[in-house]
A and B are shown apart, each in its own frame.
Chain A
Amino acid sequence: MTMHATNMGNSLYKTDPLTKRLNAAEARFRIYGMAAVAFGVLALVGLLTSALGTGVSAFRQTFVEIPVMLDAAVLDKSGNRNPEEMAKITTIGYAKVLETAMVAELTERGLLNDRVSAKDAGGLISKEAPAQLRNMVLANPELLGTTVEFRALANGRVDGFFKGRVTMESAALDSNISPAQLELAQKMRELGLLSVSFNWGFITGPDASELRPEAAGLGVAILGSLYMMIFVLVLALPLGVAASIYLEEFAPQNRFTDLIEVNISNLAAVPSIVFGILGLAVFINFGGLPQSSPLVGGLVLTLMTLPTIIIATRAALKAVPPSIKDAALGIGASKTQTVFHHVLPLAMPGILTGAIIGLAQALGETAPLLLIGMVAFVRDYPAAPPEGFLDPAAALPVQVYNFTQRADPAFIERASGAIIVLLVFLLAMNLLAIILRRRFERRW
C-alpha cells in the first residue's frame, strides 16, 4: 500500500481519499440493495393498482329503469297464459316491447328529437335485456297486461361512456353508437332514468357473447373453479398426507424411497403446461373423460398440487419433536398408533396451511386448463355434483384469458374485474392459512 493511501500523519478528523472512496462504495452498494427491494415492492404495487384501477369499474354497471307495459295481445296471442305457447315469442318480440316502452317514456319526458330514432332509443338498452324480460315473463305469466318497472342493462357503449371508456369523438366513428345517443343517455341520467349501480350480475351471471360485454359475468367460472377445488381438496389432501406419512415415518432408507423422493421434487418443478398435456393425453384421449369438465380439471390440478402438499406435510411432520414419538412408543403404542394418534394431530395445523397454499396455487393455475378444453364458451351452469363434475364448465383464471381474447375493449375491464375476484379469493385463503398458523402453531 502506498503512502498517500493511508491515514498516516494526517488528522483523523479529515477523511483521506481512500476512506472517502470506500465510504462512497459502501453507500452505493447499500443504495443498490435498497433500490432492488424498492423495485420489487413498487412492482407489486404497480401490479395491484393496474388490476384494481381497470377492474373496479366492472363491478358497477349502467342500468336503464323504465316502466314497461307488457302487452298481452303481443306477448300471448292465444290469451290462455300457457307458458309453452308464450315461449314461441322469441327475444325479438320482447326487444320490440322494450323499444316501445323506451320510446313512450322518452316521449313523455320530451327527450325525443328528430336526431334520435326509435331504433336509436331502443339501442341504448343491452341486447341481453329482452332475454331477461322474457325469462321474467315466462316465470310469472300473470305479469302480462300489467306495467312493470324493469331494470334493463344498458348497452356496453353507453356503460363505457359513463366509465370514460367511450367518448363523443370515438362514438362518432363507431357504428354501434352515435353521439346523439350518448347525449340522450346523459339527459336520461340527469332525469334518473339511467343510473350506475352495483352489478351482482357480474359475479353471479354466466358469460355472454362477444357482442354484449355488459352482460358477461363470472358465475359459471366461479362455480367451475369451486368444483375443481372440491376435487383437489378431496383427492390431493388425503393422498398427499398418506404419501408424506409413509415417506417420513415408515419408509426404509433404500433405492425405492430415493426414487419416490426424487420424483416428487422433480414433479414440483415440472412446468404446469406439461400437466395439461398429461391431462389431455391420459384423461381425455385415453380415458375418454369429457372435455372441459371440472372432473378432468380437478384431476390435473390434483396431480399438480400433490408435490406442494407432500413437501409441506413432510415439513410439518418433521417439526413434531421425537420426544413425543418416543413417549408414545414407550408406553406401548404401535408405530401406526403413534403416528395416527400423536404425530398427525400435532402436525395438522402445518398440514392444513400447506394444503390451503396448494389450493391457492391450484386456483390460480391457467395453462393446464387451456389444454383440457376449459377455454370453450360455456353459458350453462354445471349441474349439482356429482353429475355436475362431468358437465362443461369454465374456470376463473381461464375466464380472464377468454376475456382478453375478445375484441371489444369493454372486456379488458371485465378481465381485470375477474382478476380482482380471483385475488380476493386468494387473499381470503392465504389469510386463513396465516390465521391457522398463528392460532395453532406450537413451539417446542
Chain B
Amino acid sequence: MSIGLLSLIVIALAVAGFLIGRARALSKAGGDIRRLHSLPNFYGQSVFLFTAVPALLLMAAWLILQPMLIEARVSGMITAADVPEGSSVGLVMSDVRRISDGIDLILSQGDLSGEDVARMRADFSDVRSRLATVGVALGADVKPAVFEAAKAYNSASSSGRLMMSAAVLAVALAGMAFALSRTTADFRARNVSETFVRALLIASSFIAILTTVGIVLSLVFETVHFFQLYPAKDFFLSTIWNPQFRGGSDLGILPLLWGTLYVSFVALAFAVPIGLFAAIYLAEYASKKVRAVAKPLLEVLAGIPTIVYGLFALITVGPMLRDYFAQPLGLGTSSSSVMTAGLVMGIMLIPFVSSLSDDIINAVPQAMRDGSYGLGATQSETVKQVILPAALPGIVGAILLAASRAIGETMIVVLGAGAAAKMSLNPFEAMTTVTVKIVGQLTGDTEFASPETLVAFALGLTLFVFTLGLNILALYIVRKYREQYE
C-alpha cells in the first residue's frame, strides 16, 4: 500500500470518526444539545484528532526507522570480501538498495513471481541484464552475496511496509474506538480537544529547537570524526590548503579565513558608509516623495537572490574591474578577485545597513533634534554630534549583523572570488573563502570517510560559531547600550 493511499485512508477514517462522534454525542444526549458538556463539533473533533494524529505520527516514525533497521541487518550479510577494491560498504549498500528497487520493478511487471525471484541466483542467471531491462543499470556484475542481501532487503522492506500499513490502520481504529468509547454527554470534549491542539502547537514550536540541535549535532559529530583523521593543530594553524585525492592533504584553515575576512572587510568598507549615508539622508533630509520611492528601491536589493549577484560579479563586475583597474595598474589578470566579490557583496549589504540604521535613526526622539537646533547647531552637526551617538549601539548592531551575513555568504564568493587558497594583500588577486571550500569539498563525490570531505564539516562548524558569535554580540550590544527614551 503506498504512503499516499495509506494517509488518505487514515484521513478518511478520521473524517468518518468526526461524523460518528458528533452523531453519537447527540444521540447520547437524546438530541438535546443543552444536555451536552460541549458543542457537538467538539466531540467529533476529539475523535478526529485521536484517529488521525497517533496513526500519522506512527507512520512518520516507521518510515524513518524502518530503512535504518533493515540496513543494519542487511549490511551484516555483506562481508569484507564482497567489497571491491577502492569501494566501501556504503557504496555496496547503495547497490543493494538499487537492486532491491529493481526487483520491485520486475515484480510489478508481472513476468516473474515472488518465488521466481527468491529462486534466482546471481551466480547462475544474468541478474545484471535482467535488471537493465527495467532501467536499473549496474556498473559491474552482481556478486552472489550482494544479490542475496538485496533479496533480503527487498523482502524485509516489503514485509515491513505491509506491517506498517497494518499497524497504522490498527492504531487509527484503536484511537477512534477509544475516543468514541469516551463520548458521553458528560465527556469534557472541548477541554480534551483543546489540550490536544495545544500539544500540537507546542510540538510545532519544538521544531526550531530540533533544527538547532540537528545542526549542532551533525556539525560536531562529523568534526570530531575529522579530527580523529586529521590533527586539529594543523587544521587551525597551518597556512597551506592543498587537498589531495590520494591522502597527504594539507588542510589549513588560515588561508580560507583570511580570504573570508578580506572579502567581508572589502564588502563592509563599501556597504557601511554607503548604507549609513543613505539611511541618514532618507531619515533626515529626503522629502516624503523621495523617501517613498528610494527606500523600497533599496530594499529590493535585499530581496534579490544571491545567485543573481553572483552572476553579476561573474559577467559584469569582474571583467570590468580587471579591464579598467587591475590590468592597467598591473595588479592582476584575474576577473575573479577579492575586490569583485567584495564590491558585489557590498551592494548586497547596503539595504541591511541602511534599513536597520534608518529605523534606529527614526527612533531617536525629535526633542533631541530640537534641542540641538535650539543651541544653534546646523542639521549636519546635529546628525553627527547628537543623532549618531544616540543611535550608535543600534548601528553597531546592524553592522555586526551585516558582517555575519558577509561571512556566511556563499554564491557571490563562489562565482566572484575564485578558488585559489592564498594569503595575499592584493585585493585584485583571486582568493577563496570558507564557504567556497565547503561547496567545493561537498559537491560531487561525497565519501564520508576521507578527511578531504569531512573537513567541510569542520569548516561549517567554524562558520557557524563565527556567525553565531557575531549575532550574539550584536544582540548584546543593542541590549546593553540602548538608550531608553520615553
Contact = CB atoms under 8 A, between A and B. Distances in A.
Interface of A: 22, 25-26, 29-30, 32-37, 39-41, 43-44, 46-47, 50-51, 54, 238-240, 242-243, 245-247, 250-251, 259-260, 263-267, 269-278, 280-282, 285-288, 303, 306-307, 310, 334-336, 357, 360-361, 363-367, 370-371, 373, 375, 386, 397, 400-401, 404, 412, 415-416, 419, 422-423, 426, 430
A400 B414 CA distance: 13
A277 B214 contact: no
B411 A243 contact: no
B207 A277 contact: no
Contacts of B351: 40
27 contacts: A26-B378, A33-B282, A33-B284, A37-B277, A40-B354, A43-B301, A50-B316, A250-B201, A251-B205, A260-B205, A263-B209, A269-B404, A271-B467, A275-B215, A277-B218, A277-B219, A277-B438, A281-B218, A281-B219, A306-B207, A366-B411, A367-B306, A367-B410, A367-B411, A367-B439, A371-B442, A416-B315
Given A25-B380, A29-B383, A242-B205, 11 more contacts: A33-B281, A36-B275, A36-B278, A50-B316, A246-B198, A251-B205, A270-B408, A307-B208, A386-B2, A386-B3, A422-B308
B25 interface: no
Contacts of A282: 214, 218
A281 B457 CA distance: 9
Q: Top 3 closest A-B pairs, CB basis? A: A271-B408, A364-B305, A33-B281
B305 A41 contact: no
A162 to B, nearest CB: 20
Interface size range of chain B in the complex: 35 or more
A96 B290 CA distance: 64
A426 B463 contact: no
Given A47-B309, A334-B194, A366-B307, A37 B208 contact: no
Interface stretch (B27-35, B51-59, B292-300): B292-300
Interface in B329-380: 347, 350-351, 354, 378-380
Contact of B212 (A267, A273, A335, A412): A267
Contacts of A375: 443-444
Contact of B439 (A34, A273, A281, A397): A273
A238 B446 CA distance: 34
Contacts of B190: 334
Contacts of B81: none
B401 A269 contact: yes
Contacts of B305: 363-366, 397, 422, 426
A365 B200 CA distance: 29
B68 A259 contact: no
A33 B297 contact: no
Given A26-B378, A267-B208, A47 B304 contact: yes
B297 A41 contact: yes
B380 A26 contact: yes
A363 B306 CA distance: 11
Interface in B278-326: 278, 280-282, 284-286, 290, 294, 297-298, 300-301, 303-312, 314-316
B380 A430 contact: no
B408 A272 contact: yes
B476 interface: no
Contacts of B290: 37
Nearest to B384: A29
Contacts of B71: 288
A274 B222 CA distance: 13
Nearest to B190: A334
A248 to B, nearest CB: 10
Given A37-B294, A245-B201, A415-B311, A47 B347 contact: yes
Given A364-B307, A366-B305, A39 B64 contact: no
B280 A33 contact: yes
B19 interface: no
B67 interface: yes
B460 to A, nearest CB: 5
A37 B282 contact: yes
Contacts of A264: 208
Given A272-B408, A288-B71, A278 B205 contact: no
Contacts of B460: 273-274, 277
B281 A269 contact: no
A283 B32 CA distance: 53
B236 to A, nearest CB: 19
B435 interface: yes
A207 to B, nearest CB: 16
Contacts of B300: 44
Contacts of A243: 201, 204-205, 207-208
B439 A35 contact: no
